Amino acid sequence: MELRINNISKRYGKQYALKDFTVSLNDGIYGLLGPNGAGKTTLINTILGIIKQDEGSIELDGKDVRKLGSHYYNLVGYLPQYPQFYKNFTCREFMEYMCTLKDVPKSQISNRINELLDLVNLSDSTAKRVGAFSGGMRQRLGIAQALVNDPKILILDEPTAGLDPKERIRFRNIISKLLKERIVILSTHIVSDVEYIAKEVIMIDRGSLVKKGTLKELTEQIADKVWEIHTDDTTANLLMELYSIGNVLATEQGYCLKIVSEKCPASGAVHVVANLDDVFLHYFGKEET
Amino acid sequence: MKLFFYELRKSFLRKYVIVFLIVFSVLDVTKISLNYYQGNIDPILQENESNQGAAEQMYTLTKGSITQDKFTFLKKEEERLGEIYSKKLGNKDENEVTYSGNLYEDYRLLKLYIAEGFHYAENYSQYSKTITKIAEDNIGYYKKQNNFLSAMENKFIADTYSRRNITSFYRSDAVESYFDDFFSFILILIMCFLCIAPVFGQEYETNMNVLLLSSKKGRIKSTIIKMMASLCCGAFITLWFCLVDWLTYHLLCGFEGLDNPIWALPSFKESFLNSTITHFMLSEILLRVLAVIVIVLSLLILSLLLKKPLYVGGSFLVLLGGWYLLSRLSVQSDMLKSLVGLCNPVCLYLNKQLYQEFHYLEFGTRFYLMSNISIAGNIILAVVLILILFGLKRRMN
């Protein structure tokens, strides 16, 4: 399956939310990374068909999704940002409601719900009201509802926001199970979520594609731009003002700084292995002075 | 059907809604009961116990079909007690018939609670003949003057009011009070607000709006079902309170003479309706449902636009206030003011005057009953509101 986004642009007034955005996606998990206001949600809403692009097209296996009409919605699953759902519904009622909305055949509803609640570890909470769910349980229910129609394109918008580390790990493990014959787009600004599970990372800023590639490709591209330096208090403060700092560690002698920079930030700085945080900082961090 | 159930479950089949429905129903019953026991519905209850018994006894002897015997009995009693009253003959001779133990009180009770209503029923056919005669005379006059519109109006009067009579006598206080009781309207409005205000707002609050938009049935179909569920909910609330009102009045006062024509109620003496009291009761319930449907549609639009229940509530109050003020313009000679006044749900719900008297508006060479204009106006308003609702939803999608 291939989802092609061809030169799409979306304007609000004179401001571009998406500008000439082009990307091609195949089965697997894609991390969509970008700072706040980069255009992630607009891109997601455009892929979902919630908003219409001003220019460009979105094609699924070579067919314009607009021409697929309502059939396209049956191919898409979505977990919105900060979902609350209906507090007075029980977990099962909510799932049944989503199955009805997404036109799941009646005969399959019960099995499908059992299967999905089992997958997200909510089998014991089917009769519990959604209002009584913790944030993590709600997110897991969110994934389950996104999967009721067995979507070919699954979009998760900030799925781990507000979750504690244990829930985030559990969440990542569930996502990893969903890879098969499916395009999963994971929009987040929590870099580590993407780092562990994404096949490729799409970096977006000001509505445009900044970079797309595997973790290895992206980190290799900035391999000579990540530095580590041990320094004293005064120099550390100065460097923090001038460069994008990936990490600050207090040591007995002063500080150990991880810096992302095109050039060597100071004498004594040495190259270290880059990670996705550094890639993020490189593209969206401080402009060097 | 399942989606419809879930829409009901989302906004209406909720604990707080059911609690409010029960509390408001109790409040409604309590209000009617208090009114009843204070004698505001049936003034006989303001009398002392012996007078109540006396009035009841007189009523038992006269109620039902108007026969010669009852007519003669009433006439004789009126004369006998009237004479005692006017000549101040005092109280009382041995073997004299008395109902309350006091002849003066008997006379007062007879005049106040029995004779007035009985004579109204008995004389109505004469009233009908007089009206018809005047109208028929007018037809000829206006035709000569080439005033065909007034001739048509008089023909309508002649046709409508001719051969009217009342064949049985029943006291009408309970039915009249039932028709005049609008307390439940306030409860219906509050219930509608509680149920409908969050319909669209909660989708935004819970972030479900985007989820709905990304699903096949979550777009227009879900809006249609939301609207249908809201309308059913509004209709149910209206029917429920109508039933509570009707049952409470019926159990407390015991409705009588419901098969009588509507003009048997003195406040409907000049009504153009040719139906029984029962039929009018049923039609009135349908009119109330129509009015509430328009109110529900307005609330849905406010919910879609303003989302937060507080804002929806504020605007709803302003809207109701506006409608109430406009409804007071309905029976006017100024056609435009009348039209504006008639085409709103508050007028349709509250303005009994439209059915109690013969009010009409002239358009060109024809005239139309204001009651019909109000019904048609509200149906048109409902259609317009539906179009606005879907137009807005489409834009917001």
Interface test with A, best of B211, B223, B394, B396 (most A CBs within 10 A): B211
Interface test with B, best of A74, A85, A86, A95 (most B CBs within 10 A): A86
Contact assignment for A89 to B213 by CB distance below 8 Å:
no
More confident residue, A82 or B178: B178
Sequential DSSP letters for A240-277 = HHHSEEEEEEE-SSSEEEEEE-SS--STT-EE----HH
Alpha-carbon span A238 to A235, nearest angstrom: 5
Q: Measured between CB atoms, does A76 come within 8 Å of chain B?
A: yes
Give all domains of chain A, ordered by start, each with its CATH number: 3-213 (3.40.50.300), 220-284 (no CATH)
* Range 89-108 of A in CB contact (< 8 A) with B: 89, 93, 96-98, 100-103
If you average pLDDT over every residue of chain B, what do you get?
89
pLDDT at residue B141 tops 80: yes
Sequential DSSP letters for A177-224 = TT-TT-EEEEEES-HHHHHHH-SEEEEEETTEEEEEE-HHHHHHHTGG
Contact assignment for B216 to A74 by CB distance below 8 Å:
yes
Q: Measured between CB atoms, does B207 come within 8 Å of chain A?
A: yes
Q: Which of A124, A48, A58 is nearest to A79 (CA)?
A: A48
The model's pLDDT over A76-95, given as tens digits with 9 standing for 90+, comes to: 999 988 888 899 899 999 99
What pLDDT is attached to residue A95?
95
Cis omega (within 30 of 0) on the bond before B92?
yes
The model's pLDDT over B338-358, given as tens digits with 9 standing for 90+, comes to: 888 899 999 999 888 889 988
What pLDDT is attached to residue A287?
56
Contact assignment for A78 to B211 by CB distance below 8 Å:
yes
Mean pLDDT of the region A166-178: 80
User: In which band, very low, low, confident or very high, does the pLDDT at A155 lie, cut at 50, 70 and 90?
Assistant: very high
pLDDT at residue A286 tops 70: no
Alpha-carbon span B227 to B55, nearest angstrom: 52
Mean pLDDT of the region B132-138: 93
Alpha-helical runs (H) found in B88-115: 103-109
| Dihedral pair phi/psi, residue A208, rounded to 5° | -120, 155
Q: Which of A187, A242, A164 is nearest to A36 (CA)?
A: A187
**Whether this model's pTM surpasses 0.90:** no
> Cβ atoms within 10 A of the Cβ of B325, count?
12
Q: Which of A147-161, A259-273, B49-63, B274-288 has the lowest mean pLDDT?
A: A259-273
The model's pLDDT over A49-77, given as tens digits with 9 standing for 90+, comes to: 888 899 999 998 888 888 888 788 888 99
* Complex confidence, ipTM: 0.81
CA distance from start to end of chain A: 44
The model's pLDDT over B367-376, given as tens digits with 9 standing for 90+, comes to: 889 999 999 9
Look up residue B46 and give its two tokens: 């303001």
Strands of the A208-213 sheet, one edge to the other: A76-79, A153-157, A183-188, A28-33, A200-205, A208-213
Geometric angle at alpha carbon A23, from A286 and A39, rounded to 5°: 45
Burial class of residue A166, CB neighbours in 10 A (0-12, 13-18, 19+): exposed
What pLDDT is attached to residue B95?
58
Domain residues of chain B, as ranges?
2-40+171-396, 43-169
